[in-house]
Amino acid sequence: MNRPVVVGVDGSAASIAAADYAALLATRRAAPLLLLHGYVHPLGYGAAGVSPYTPALPDPRADAATMLARVAAAVRRAHPYLDVLTDQLAAGGGPALIERSPTAEAVVVGHRGLGGCAELVVGSVGAMVAARASGPVVIVRPIASGRADAPVVVGVDGSAGCVPAIEFAFEEAAQRALPLLAVYVVDERVQPAWMAESILDTGVAPWTVKYPQVDVRRQVRPASDAQQAIVDMSDHASLIVVGSRGRGGFAGLLLGSVSQALVHHARCPIAVVHPRAREAAHGLTEKEVDMKQIYAATDRKVAPVLSRPVRHLMSAPASCVGEGVSLGEALADMVRQRLRHLVVVDGQGICRGVVSDRMIVAAWANSPQSLDRETVGSVLEPGSAIVDEAAPVVSVARLMRSAHVDAVVVAGADLRPIGIVTGSDLIAFLAG
C-alpha cells in the first residue's frame, strides 16, 4: 500500500480546510488519505487509580469517531476516487501526527483548531510537529494573494538539508502545473552575491533535468533580516517550501528563528521537509557522496560537467593490484607512490573492488604482525561499485548516493579497470 497523506482533524474549520488540502495532495500523489485525530482524556489516564473509560465518564473516542465520519464523508463526496481512512490515537495532536509521520507521504495540519490537533499551527503543537516530524509537513494557511496559480517558492542555501525541500517543491510545481521560484536569501556582509548565485544555480540544476516541464525562476535576495525576507516572499506564493535545517541563506532551519517566523507568520501554506526516518537511519555518512556538494562544486559549469563522461574525472592517485597481493605489500606500495586508493583485480584483469588507504592503515594499526599474511582480496571495501567509462557524472553521483557507495571503479567495455572515482575526489576535481 502507498504511504498515506496524514492530516490532523479535530472538526474545526481550519482542520477541515487542511483535510481538503490534504485530499488534493493525496490525489496528485495517488496516495490514500488518513484523517487522524489525537485525543487526551480531560481527566488524564488512570488518575488516582481510576480508568478514564468507565460508565461514569464520557469516552472521547465516541464523539471523535462521529466527527471523523462526518469529515470523511464530505471528503469522499468531493473526491469519490480517493481512498479515505480514519484513525484515532490516545495522544495529543502533535505526538499523534509525529508518531504517524515516518510512514506518511506527508503530514498536513491546519493553522488553528479546537483540541486534539487544535493548537496547530500558531501554538506549541504546530512548532513541535514542524520540528520533530519525519518527511514533509505542510501547514495550511490562507493564500494572501488569493491566487491559486501563484508560484511555489523554495528556499535554497546549498546545504544537504535543502535537497529534500527542492525535490518536494519541484514535485508540487510539476503536479500542479505552477511555476517554481528558487530563492537564496543572502546577507552580502557575510557572503558575496556571485557565490549565492552559483550555489542557487547548481542546487536547482539537477532538478530542472528531472522536471523539464517546470518553469523555473531563480532569485538571489539580498537581506540582512532573513526572517522578514522569507515571510515577505509568502505574500506572492501558493506554497513556500524549506528544508528541516539549513546553512547560509536559510540558516537556522528548522529549530531557529527563521523557521519560527514562517510557522507563525507565513501568509500562504508552508511545507517544512525533513528527511524521512528510513533515509535518516540509512542516510549519507561522511564518506558518502553528497549530491548538493557535487553540484555546488561545479560552480558555473553545471551543464558541461554533469554530462561529461566520468573517465575525465578519474583520480590520478590510484593504481591496480592483484587480489592476492598482501596488505603489507599494498600498504608499502601506496606509501611509496603516495596512492590513496587501489583498484583490486583478479587474474583476468577484471575489477573486484576498491581498497582505500584508510582501510589498510586501520588494518595495519589493529594487527601489524599478521598483516602481511592477509591478502588485499580478503579486505575488499564493500562500499564500491563499477561503472562504464562513458557514464556521465550525474549518473555516477546518483548511483553513489542511492546505493550508499563510497568509491566507484571506472572500467572499459571488457570490465578491465581504468581508474577510480570517490566522493571526495570528484568534489575536489570539480572544485578545482
The tens digit of pLDDT for each residue in 132-166 reads: 888 899 998 888 766 778 999 998 877 767 888 99
Residue 274: per-residue pLDDT:
84
Segment 79-101 mean pLDDT: 87
Task: Give the Cα separation of 109 and 128 in Å (integer).
Answer: 12
Residue of 109, 77, 66, 214 whose CA lies nearest to 154: 214
pTM over 0.75? The answer is no
Distances (CA, A) of 335 to 65, 356, 360, 418: 70, 12, 11, 21
Q: Mapped to the 3 state alphabet, what secondary structure does 229-242 carry?
A: HHHHHHHHCCEEEE
Helix axes 357-366, 327-337, angle to 10 degrees: 130
Burial of residue 47, with CB atoms counted within 10 A of its CB: 0-12 exposed, 13-18 middle, 19 or more buried: exposed
User: What's the mean pLDDT when you consider all of the chain?
Assistant: 74
**Chain CA centroid to CA 72, Å:** 30
Evaluate whether 393 touches 425 at the Cβ level (below 8 Å): no
Beta carbons of 218 and 207 less than 8 angstroms apart = no
Average pLDDT estimate for 300-323: 64
- Integer Cα distance of 110 and 13 in angstroms: 9
Instruction: Decide the pairing of beta strands 351-356 and 341-345.
Output: antiparallel
Strand partners, 318: 341
The contacts of residue 171 (CB under 8 Å, 6+ apart) are: 211
Please name each of the domains of the chain with its CATH number: 1-117 (3.40.50.12370), 141-283 (3.40.50.12370), 291-431 (3.10.580.10)
Check residue 117 and give its pLDDT. Answer: 46
Report whether 40 contacts 91 (CB < 8 A): yes
Give the containing element (helix H, strand E) for 303.
Answer: helix 302-306
Q: How far is CA 378 from the centre of its chain?
A: 36
Among 4-13, 214-223, 303-312, name the one with the lowest average pLDDT: 303-312
Per-residue pLDDT band at 106 (split at 50, 70, 90): very high
Query: Residue 49: left (phi > 0), alpha (psi -120 to 50), or beta?
Result: left
Rounded distance, CA 219 to CA 202, Å?
A: 13
- Residue 314: other Cβ atoms inside 10 A: 19
Measure CA 177 to chain center: 22
| Mean pLDDT, residues 268-286 taken together | 60
d(CA 359, CA 376): 11
Report pLDDT for 307: 65
Would you say residue 304 has pLDDT above 60? no
Note whether 199 and 158 are within 8 A (CB): yes
Which segments of 22-151 are extended strands (E)?
Answer: 33-38, 84-89, 106-110, 136-140
Q: What's the distance, CA 16 to chain centroid?
A: 28
- Work out the number of other CB atoms within 10 angstroms of the CB of residue 300: 11
Report how far residue 18's alpha carbon sits from residue 23's, in angstroms, rounded to the nearest whole number: 8
Lay out the sheet containing 384-388: strands in order across.
Answer: 384-388, 407-411, 417-422
Is pLDDT at 98 greater than 80 in this prediction? Answer: yes
Flag the least confident range among 22-26, 244-248, 294-298.
294-298
Of the listed ranges 17-21, 99-103, 168-172, 377-381, the least confidently predicted one is 377-381
Most confident by average pLDDT, 152-166, 240-254, 395-409: 152-166
Q: Residues 155, 157, 161, 164: is their CA dihedral positive or negative? A: positive
The CA-based angle 387-207-156, given to 5 degrees, is: 120
DSSP one-letter code for 27? H
- The percent of the chain in helix, strand and coil, each rounded to the nearest 5, is 45, 20, 35
Residue 52 has pLDDT above 50, yes or no: no
User: Per-residue pLDDT averaged across 45-71, rounded?
Assistant: 64
pLDDT score for 49: 41
Query: What residues contact 357, with CB distance under 8 A and at least 6 apart?
Result: 334, 339, 340, 341
- The mean-pLDDT minimum among 21-25, 26-30, 327-331, 356-360 falls in 356-360
